[in-house]
Amino acid sequence: MTRFFAVLLCVLTVMPLASPAQEPPALMLAQRAPAGIDPAGYWVSEKLDGVRACWDGAVLRFRSGRPIAVPDWFVAALPARPLDGELWIGRGRFEQVSGVVRRETADDAAWRPVRYMLFDLPGDPDDFSRRVERMVHIVDAAGVPWLQAVPQWRLADRAALKKTFDDVVADGGEGLMLHRADAHWVAGRSDALLKLTPWLDAEATVVGQVPGRGRHRGRLGALQVRMPDGRQFRLGSGFSDAQRASPPAIGSEVTYRYRELTAQGLPRFPVFLRIRDLP
């Protein structure tokens, strides 16, 4: 019996303790910009098609809270304070950056083109105009090319906003973000942060995978997804061949875009955009 407890103690000593599940970080979330919004009171920036990443002063995490496997050199110059931004390579290259940051171990060479584009300082007590100044100072102090602040502009009127929006979308951008200049940081969805895109977008939970037919036989045909209010619909377009061969898992959250809602409140012409929370 004594030997049994000795062996048990040895096993417990070398076994790693399970770490508690990481809570998702508190984030400021955007609402859709109302039609005809006057941009005079806002800072305006491009809406980047990258992967949102939160730095807590020690660890870089997905918005789900899961740590990102990142090279040491990439985070070595980051300050010991919270940052919020986008891991980004360039317009239209979401699949590339997503593939890099999803990996269980960091691929040093694959991370070289990735940029951490700062767009806010979570928990900072000052208004957004002051936070814009601080982000520029943080980037200057770091002095590394992979840490950048998302360019912010002030636009005088609706005509300037429309021209900027049209130019960004025409060049392959997703749209614009508008952040009220006098707004203090607050967690959750707020009208202090707005998004302006040519399509509507929303999130849904994958509850099923529908087999494909014809040229998609043996692969994904569509995802059965559930909206936050419980209603379900099929999401069948927007997938690459690789995504149809290895589709989003049941239970994962996906972002889709659509034109408008039907009379029944379902999205019209929904198109898969990306997995929202990386596993």
Domain ranges for the chain, please list them.
Answer: 28-196, 200-275
Q: What is the pLDDT of residue 11?
A: 35
- The model carries a pTM of 0.75
* pLDDT per residue of the chain (279 residues) written in tens, 0 to 9: 444 444 333 333 333 333 344 678 889 999 999 989 999 999 999 999 899 999 999 999 998 899 999 999 999 999 999 999 999 999 988 889 989 998 999 999 999 999 999 999 999 999 999 999 999 999 999 999 999 999 999 999 999 999 999 999 999 898 999 999 999 999 998 899 999 998 888 999 999 999 998 888 899 999 999 999 999 999 998 998 889 999 999 999 999 988 778 878 899 889 999 887 554
Superfamily of domain 200-275: Nucleic acid-binding proteins (2.40.50.140)
- For 108-142, the three-class secondary structure string (H helix, E strand, C coil) is HHHHCCCEEEEEECCCCCCEHHHHHHHHHHHHHHH
Q: What is the pLDDT of residue 1?
A: 44
Q: What is the pLDDT of residue 201?
A: 87
Whether the domain at 28-196 and the domain at 200-275 fall into the same CATH topology:
no
Which spans in 192-247 are helix H?
A: 241-245
Residue with tokens 């940052």: 83
Q: What is the pLDDT of residue 277?
A: 59
Q: What is the CATH number of domain 28-196?
A: 3.30.470.30
- The two three-digit tokens of residue 247, written as one number: 């589709």
Q: At 136, which amino acid appears? A: V
Is residue 185 within 8 A of residue 171, CB to CB? The reply is no
